[in-house]
Amino acid sequence: MGTMTENTLAETLANQLRRDILRGKLAPGAPVKERDHAAELSVSRTPMREAIRILAKEGLLILRPSRSPIVAAPSLEEITNAIDVLAALEALSGELACDRATEDEIAEIRVQQQRMAELYGKIDRIELFEMDMRIHSLIVAASHNPALQETHQAYLQRLWRARYLSASRKDSRERVLRQHGEIVEALEARDATAIKAAIHAHLEALVSNIREHFSSDPQFGPVPAWAEAPRTDNTI
Amino acid sequence: MGTMTENTLAETLANQLRRDILRGKLAPGAPVKERDHAAELSVSRTPMREAIRILAKEGLLILRPSRSPIVAAPSLEEITNAIDVLAALEALSGELACDRATEDEIAEIRVQQQRMAELYGKIDRIELFEMDMRIHSLIVAASHNPALQETHQAYLQRLWRARYLSASRKDSRERVLRQHGEIVEALEARDATAIKAAIHAHLEALVSNIREHFSSDPQFGPVPAWAEAPRTDNTI
DNA sequence: CAACGCATTTTGGTATACCAAATCAAAAAT
DNA sequence: ATTTTTGATTTGGTATACCAAAATGCGTTG
């Protein structure tokens, strides 16, 4: 991970497809025909096929036998299920981080959290959203458990769209800030119980936020064009 | 072969490769050259390549740029890390199962656990081991969270080899039985706190068991030939 | 007009051929 | 004898061609 040296064409295609999906350029439910997409980008079917498989494993595409893969259109229930898992992963991360994180790592997390608090209101929601994700990822990284980090990253991807839409609610942003503060404080105190509680609270708020969205717009329309490409250090 | 018709050649190859890896026919660290393996099985490189990617995503193979993929040889630390995640996933499963499992599901789990207790000593360790896995999977299934189930299954795969070797310790088997009993009792009482504790205890015992193995044989030699092919309803 | 059936087409699955980067080894230069 | 260079070979990455199953649409038939 880390730098973005895209080695193989398939990875490049996967990243590009992922962006298109997450940004809503490819609407949920839309078919992704490997032939057409490959032709459109002037590549052969082979790497495109591989890219599709990658995204399928990530849960962004649904593969069905002898039929075009389609962009996943997770129901509220599926999103909630995924968040439940995400919460468990982050809670474990927090717990582990409490006794494995270095002082430097904790300091860096605090810095990021403070930067987010300062810039709140001065930057657009997309940047704010990315800072949010970055803080979560940093906490997971502080767990010093690569497997956990990898799985967490996968769930973050899968939930990117839902989280993004939630982040655009103005009223939710203040709450996010406060809850991040609680999490970081617990980490600084290396209080495993407190950090687990804080993380669960944070993500349960996310669930209820998304639930509201669903009641108004059950399908989650495409992301407006002004939303620029996300960048998480990683794949996206 | 299995209960379900294997749809694509790539899946078949992936399953076969997985068996060979888990049974130790392909030793940890061994290279898996897509050309040779494809030729050996009289298939083309394309599906073999795809199979390799599948197993890589599962963590059983390690892909390195411009070099043969090799069979993963997880260190004790990596195994421990994976078990930490597994424990979190199962703890969540237990918690969810406590208020979502149907009475039938709980009854079925109890049946399996009792069957395992009865047959203990009468069947070989491989069958016993499979029953162990089945019970764990049933609990996860009772969480009614497909994403959780999928991720859990992936970790179970990744840890199959380590768990298998641990299961062959005679002294550990009685403990497993008792701990399973505790887990099922907690589930029957729908006591989330108790089931989480029981699951964590169970898996921490697994860690210490594996740790002992490692101190005597750091590389985990191949599985003896008499070990027949595992069968989990699923992929293996 | 509806239902069935056959042919066309679309789509994914598989095989094969070609290419470029990396490796290894042998030979040449110092 | 050691190092360097270079060419042969191995290996993964990509493109393309072919195949079979499934969907689709149209025409026939009741």
Domain ranges of chain B: 9-71, 76-216
The CATH code for residues B76-216 is 1.20.120.530
pLDDT: which is higher, B221 or A61: A61
| Listed ranges A33-37, A58-62, B124-128, B180-184; the one with the highest mean pLDDT | B180-184
Residue A6 pLDDT: 65
Cross-strand bridge partners of residue A31: A70
Spatial distance between the Cα atoms of A189 and B36, rounded to a whole number of angstroms: 55
pLDDT score for B64: 85
A61-65, A144-148, A230-234: which has the highest mean pLDDT? Answer: A144-148
Percent of chain A with pLDDT over 70: 87
> Which residues in chain B are closer than 8 Å to A147, comparing Cβ atoms?
59, 78, 81-82, 85, 158
What single DSSP character describes residue B23?
Answer: T
Confidence at residue A164, expressed as pLDDT on a 0 to 100 scale: 81
Mean pLDDT of successive 10-residue segments in chain B (236 residues)?
62 91 86 92 93 92 87 93 98 97 97 91 79 94 97 92 77 83 97 97 92 75 43 38
- For the record, the structure tokens of A168 come out as 């655009």
Average pLDDT score, chain A: 86
Please report the pLDDT score of residue A7 as a whole number: 77
Q: How far is the CA of A233 from the C1' of D23 (A)?
A: 42
In this prediction, residues A123-137 reach a mean pLDDT of 85
Question: What is the CATH architecture assignment of A9-71?
Answer: Orthogonal Bundle (1.10)
For residue B219, what pLDDT is reported? 58
**CA–C1' distance B17–C24 (Å)?**
29
Q: Which residues of A are less than 8 Å from B158 in CB distance?
A: 147
Q: What is the dihedral of CA A159, A160, A161, A165, to 10 degrees?
A: 100
pLDDT, position A115: 93
| pLDDT the model gives residue B130 | 83
Beta bridge partners of B31: B70
pLDDT attached to residue A225: 40
Residues of B in contact with A85 (CB under 8 A): 89, 92, 145, 147-148, 151
Mean pLDDT throughout A53-81?
A: 91
Nucleotide nearest to B65 (CA to C1'): D12
> Which of A57, A84, A148 is facing B148, going by the closest CB pair?
A84
Query: Which band of pLDDT confidence, cut at 50, 70 and 90, is reported for residue A226?
Result: very low
The pLDDT score that the predictor gives to residue B186 is 97
Range with the largest mean pLDDT of A144-153, A167-176, A207-216, B116-125:
A144-153
In a mutagenesis test of the B interface, which of A44, A50, A81 is the best target, namely the one with the most B β-carbons within 10 Å? A81
Q: Kindly report the bases of strand D lying within 7 A of a protein C-beta atom.
A: 10-17, 21-23
Q: Using CA coordinates, name the residue in chain A closest to B149.
A: A85
pLDDT in tens, B119-167: 887 887 778 888 889 999 999 999 999 999 999 999 998 998 888 877 7
Predicted local confidence at residue B230, as pLDDT: 40
Phi, psi of B70 (to 5 degrees): -125, 155
Phi and psi dihedrals of B44, rounded to 5? -85, 170
Chain B residue set in contact with A, beta carbons under 8 Å: 7, 46, 50, 53-54, 57, 59, 65, 78, 81-82, 84-85, 88-89, 91-92, 96, 145-148, 151, 158
Please report the pLDDT score of residue A218 as a whole number: 59
**CA of B68 vs C1' of D11, distance in Å?**
7
Which residue has 């059950």 as its token pair? A218
Neighbours of A77 (CB within 10 A): 12
Check whether A57 has a pLDDT greater than 60: yes
Tell me which residue has tokens 């999906």. Answer: A21
Q: Which nucleotides in chain C lie less than 7 Å from some protein C-beta?
A: 10-17, 21-23
- B123's tokens: 């069947």
What pLDDT shows up at residue A171?
67
pLDDT score, position A162: 86
Is B147 close to A50, i.e. CB distance below 8 A? no
Share of chain A above pLDDT 90, in %: 58
To the nearest whole angstrom, how far is the Cα of A58 from the nearest Cα of chain B? 10
> Which residues, 6+ apart, have CB-to-CB distance to A150 below 8 Å?
none
The Cα B171–Cα B204 span in angstroms is 15
Tell me if B66 sits within 8 A of B29, measured CB to CB: no
Please tell me the least confidently modeled range out of A32-41, A136-145, A188-197: A32-41
